[in-house]
Chains A and B, each alone.
Chain A
Amino acid sequence: MNMIQAINSALDVMMDRDPDVVVMGEDVGYFGGVFRATAGLQQKYGKNRVFDTPITECGIIGVAVGMGAYGLRPVPEIQFADYIYPALDQLVSEAARLRYRSAGEFISPMTVRSPFGGGIFGGQTHSQSPEGIFTHVSGVKTVIPSTPYDAKGLLIAAIEDNDPTIFFEPKRIYNGPFDGHYDTPAKSWAGHPDAQVPTGYYRIPLGKARTARAGGALTILCYGTMVHVVENTVAAMGVDAEIVDLRTLVPLDIEAIEESVRKTGRCLIVHEATRTSGFGAELLAQVQERCFYYLEAPIERVTGFDTPYPHSLEWAYFPGPVRIREAITKIMKD
């Protein structure tokens, strides 16, 4: 399965298991979503459980809060993560805090799916990586898969979770892994070991990272599309790096991070989102608080630039192998 099929399969499995799971969003019903992630679900489960919505992101999330309060498990889709901002108040002030402010009387067990990230010439409004905004909010979980296998297992866990979860889908790798070179297309998931996705139910617990590659020379913390860019760069350099795919940013698998950095003594953080106040800053602080005496070199960050996402210069913006190689070389010098 490619990542879209894996996501579709997770939704299918969960709708089949739990009649309270409902899927909603712009174009998700009859058409099955602009990326086809919800294809076939309305035919199978009916319009009471899979339906198109008016184009109002604050409405979609606000309605999902009410449905969750009734006892359903809404899985709203925001068509592109760039369009999550109109829904921000409902997510931040309402969904995220409902449990806390009602002392557990009401919960908001929604899973907000949204394609995010760049690399598809989508311009400013189809390319952003807003995960840092949500990790900054108390009360929402943030999940970002990097493989079809993980996408399915994590999405199932997110839907089963009783807290509101933002599930960001790296659309650049929907159809295949991507090595980060501006002039190479994404490869196909066909034949890739991580695309061996069981058709039935399985879950990957939230808050558990994955060692994408074991190694002893340095630790690279990353998630989403960047896992593949990092894997390729590391392979090309022949450096013995340990690549930790975080999978969930909140809750963060701090033990896996600590263990790896203490072992390697060096740490590189890679994400696609802009740098300033990005999630990398949090990772950097955590690593230095917990592993300072184990570090043999300063921690480095590779990120997108602090500019709005550009259209024609996309490949200069997108963190690629060159930027990562440079950082690895610098870390390994000391």
Chain B
Amino acid sequence: MSDPTGFDSGEGQGARNLPPLKLHVPEPPARPGEAADFTHFEIPPVGAQPRPDEAAAPADMRDLAYGLVRVLDEDGQTAGPWNPKLPPETLLKMLRAMALTRAFDGRMFRAQRQGKTSFYMKSTGEEAVSIGAALALARDDMCFPSYRQQGILIARDWPLVDMINQIYSNKGDRLKGRQLPIMYSARDAGFFSISGNLTTQYPQAVGWAMASAAKGDTRIAATWCGEGSTAEGDFHSACTFASVYRAPVIMNIVNNQWAISSFSGFAGAESTTFAARAVGYGIAGLRVDGNDVLAVYAATRWAADRARANGGPTLIEHFTYRVEGHSTSDDPTAYRSAEESSLWPLGDPIARLKQHCIAIGIWDEERHAAMDRELAELVRDAAREAEKNGILGHGLHHPMESMFEDVFEEMPWHLQEQKQQMLDEWKAAGL
């Protein structure tokens, strides 16, 4: 069965006197038990990237796809042309939304461990990506998120109880217990229904943006996917459409370095940046310090203004780090160096903004500690409130027959029949 030339050996190339070909399979710099190393990242100083006019041609701003837009420096000071110069209220709103997202993640992760739900995914260390963008967009712009942008809902002041009802799949869940926890849908918050199938939202966001343009609307779309997901075909189809029709869309790549156990090299990071994907499509591409909420805000604002002025799409890579496991089903110590997360060179987005707020005299440690306590209570109260509607598997769910609703607008005969069968079945079982 085996080919005599041998895939593995590279020997026996017949009469041809050529060196054997080699297959390159990427390997991350560090594995469990090894010292973490981020020295291969080039981190340009704050303020080093120029800020082109929103109308600039993509070809004139190629370098931005390979640099790193940064606003907040190591000492909590701001500098450079990307500084959005936000008023104190906005800075504090950002800080609060990021801290609330973290408190929410902490509580819901524990709830999963306590058996109150089946699954949870944290966004620890990536809060700036969602919060910065959400505050830079208009409230009625449509977001097509992946599963790690709970921060958008929180920044848009969506009720926590509503989010937790979804996580608990209880009778208060607006999605009737049909979706995996954290796969929210909140049309009124400009938050598109999340799919578990990676990157399907990308072309959908482009389609929404094209429709908005075709209708002469003023709203734009934004979408998010992980760096691992950029390998999916949908990502590339979306880029083509966005480029061809100059769709008013912002395409965000959250490069948190890991896709479950696969490091970013398996999505192509050894060869180029993810923002550079934009170059080949003739799209404006920005690479941003994803742990710098001011940089995220500034880049998103730039891209939004560009889209609103019919300048077309922007692709933004947010360079960040997934501090926690991929999900409650994951154990990151099995595949990455234990110390990696603590060595991440771009710091913690909340700590960085806090430091800035303190440095400019609008915040202090006491207020921050008090806020953390207040937010923990807020989340706890919301969780208790939601629990009154039930937790997963404890009987307080939507009526059984709701399973057959919304498959079609009107229920056809075969579903009517199956619905009756199920009800009879549960009655027969005495449940």
**A contact set with B: CB distance below 8 Å:** 18-20, 22, 26-27, 29-31, 34, 46-49, 51-59, 71-73, 82-83, 85-86, 121-126, 275-276, 305-308, 310-313, 316-317, 322-323, 326
Contact A48 B25 (CB under 8 A): yes
Which of B196, B335, B397, B407 contacts A124 (CB under 8 A)? B196
30 residue pairs of the A-B complex, CB under 8 angstroms, read A26-B262, A34-B260, A34-B329, A34-B330, A46-B8, A48-B7, A48-B25, A49-B7, A52-B261, A53-B266, A54-B228, A54-B231, A54-B266, A54-B268, A55-B259, A55-B266, A59-B233, A123-B183, A124-B180, A124-B196, A125-B195, A275-B418, A305-B415, A307-B404, A307-B418, A308-B178, A312-B178, A312-B392, A312-B398, A322-B428
Give the chain A neighbours of B31 by CB distance below 8 A. 30
Contacts of A57 in B (CB 8 A): 232
With a CB–CB cut-off of 8 A, which chain B residues contact A29? 25
- Cα–Cα distance between A66 and B128 once the two chains are bound (Å): 42
A82-B196, A305-B418, A316-B426 given; A55·B7 CB < 8 A:
no
Q: State which of A49, A85, A276, A312 has its C-beta within 8 Å of the C-beta of B169.
A: A312
Say if the beta carbon of B135 comes within 8 Å of chain A. no
CA distance A310 to B118 in the complex (A): 13
Q: Is B341 an interface residue (CB 8 A)?
A: no
B177 within 8 A of A: yes
B25 touching A312, Cβ below 8 Å: no
Partner pick for B400 among A30, A82, A123, A316, CB 8 A cutoff:
A316
Most B C-beta atoms less than 10 A away, residue of A18, A51, A55, A121: A55
Chain A nearest CB, measured from B67 CB (Å): 25
CB of B267 closer than 8 Å to a CB of A? yes
| With A34-B260, A49-B8, A311-B169 as contacts: A71 and B118 at CB distance below 8 Å | no
- CA A306 – CA B198 in complex, angstroms? 24
A54 to B261, CA, bound (A): 11
Are the C-beta atoms of B231 and A82 separated by less than 8 Å? Answer: no
B416 to chain A, nearest CB (A): 11
Partner of A307, one of B229, B260, B403: B403
Q: How far is the CB of B157 from chain A (nearest CB, A)?
A: 26
CB within 8 Å for A311 and B261 given contacts A20-B3, A316-B426: no
Which residue of chain B is the closest to A304 with respect to CB atoms? B418
* Most chain B CB inside 10 Å of its own CB: which residue of A56, A86, A122: A56
With A19-B7, A56-B232, A124-B196 in contact, is A306–B414 under 8 Å at CB? yes
Interchain CB contact under 8 A, A30 and B1: no
Q: Which residues of chain B have C-beta atoms less than 8 A from A54's C-beta? A: 228, 231, 266-268
Q: Does B422 contact A (CB under 8 A)?
A: yes
**A-facing residues in B209-268 (Cβ within 8 Å):** 228-229, 231-234, 259-262, 266-268
CB pair B233 A312 closer than 8 Å: no
A54 nearest CB neighbor, chain B only: B231
Q: How far is the CB of B401 from chain A (nearest CB, A)?
A: 9
Asked whether any CB of chain A lies closer than 8 Å to the CB of B6, the reply is yes
Question: Residue A310 contacts which of B177, B259, B414 (CB distance < 8 angstroms)?
Answer: B177
For residue B234, which residues in chain A have a CB less than 8 angstroms away from its CB? 86
Residue with the highest number of chain B CB atoms closer than 10 Å, among A20, A123, A317: A123
Min CB gap A75→B, angstroms = 14
Q: How many chain B residues have a CB neighbour from A under 8 Å? A: 62
In the assembled complex, the CB of B321 is this many whole angstroms from the nearest CB of chain A, namely 18
For B196, what are the chain A residues with a Cβ–Cβ distance below 8 Å?
Answer: 82, 123-126
Residues of A contacting B6 in the complex (Cβ-Cβ under 8 angstroms)? 19
Residues of chain B from 32 to 71 with CB closer than 8 A to chain A in the complex: none
Take A56-B232, A123-B180 as given contacts and tell me if A71 and B198 are in contact as well, using a CB distance cutoff of 8 Å.
no
Q: Tell which of A55, A121, A312 has the most Cβ of chain B within 10 Å.
A: A312
Q: How far is the CA of A59 from the CA of B195 in the complex (A)?
A: 20
From residue 258 to 280 of chain B, which have CB atoms closer than 8 A to chain A? 259-262, 266-268
B429 within 8 A of A: yes
| B204 interface contact, C-beta 8 A | no
Q: In the complex the two chains form, is B268's CB within 8 Å of A30's CB?
A: no
**Structural contact, A52 and B262, CB atoms closer than 8 A:** yes
- Verify if B114 is at the interface (C-beta below 8 Å from A): no
Tell me whether B337 is interfacial, beta carbon within 8 Å.
Answer: no
The answer to whether A27 touches B262, judged by C-beta atoms less than 8 angstroms apart, is: yes
Q: Are B118's CB and A306's CB within 8 A?
A: no
B232 near A55 with CB under 8 A, answer yes
B405 to chain A, nearest CB (A): 9
Q: Bits for B180-208, please: 1 = Cβ < 8 Å to A, else 0.
A: 11010000000000011110000000000
**In the complex, which residues of chain B have a beta carbon less than 8 angstroms from the beta carbon of A121?**
118-119, 392-393
Inside 8 A of B2's CB, which chain A residues have their CB? Answer: 18-20
| Closest chain B CB from A86 CB (angstroms) | 6
Q: Is B179 an interface residue (CB 8 A)?
A: yes
Inter-chain contact A31/B335, CB cutoff 8 Å:
yes
The distance in angstroms between the C-alpha atoms of A264 and B118, with both chains bound, is: 43
Cβ–Cβ < 8 Å partners of A123 in chain B: 118-119, 178-181, 183, 196
**In the complex, how many angstroms separate the beta carbon of A296 from the nearest chain B beta carbon?**
23
Give the CA-CA distance A59 to B198 in the complex, in Å.
14
Q: Which of A18, A52, A83, A86 has the largest count of B CB atoms less than 10 A from its CB?
A: A52
| Shortest Cβ distance from residue B194 to the other chain A in the assembled complex, whole angstroms | 10
A83 touches B266 (CB 8 A): no
Further contacts, 5 of them, CB under 8 A, given A19-B8, A49-B7, A316-B426: A48-B25, A56-B233, A83-B198, A312-B169, A316-B422
B40, chain A: closest CB distance, angstroms: 19
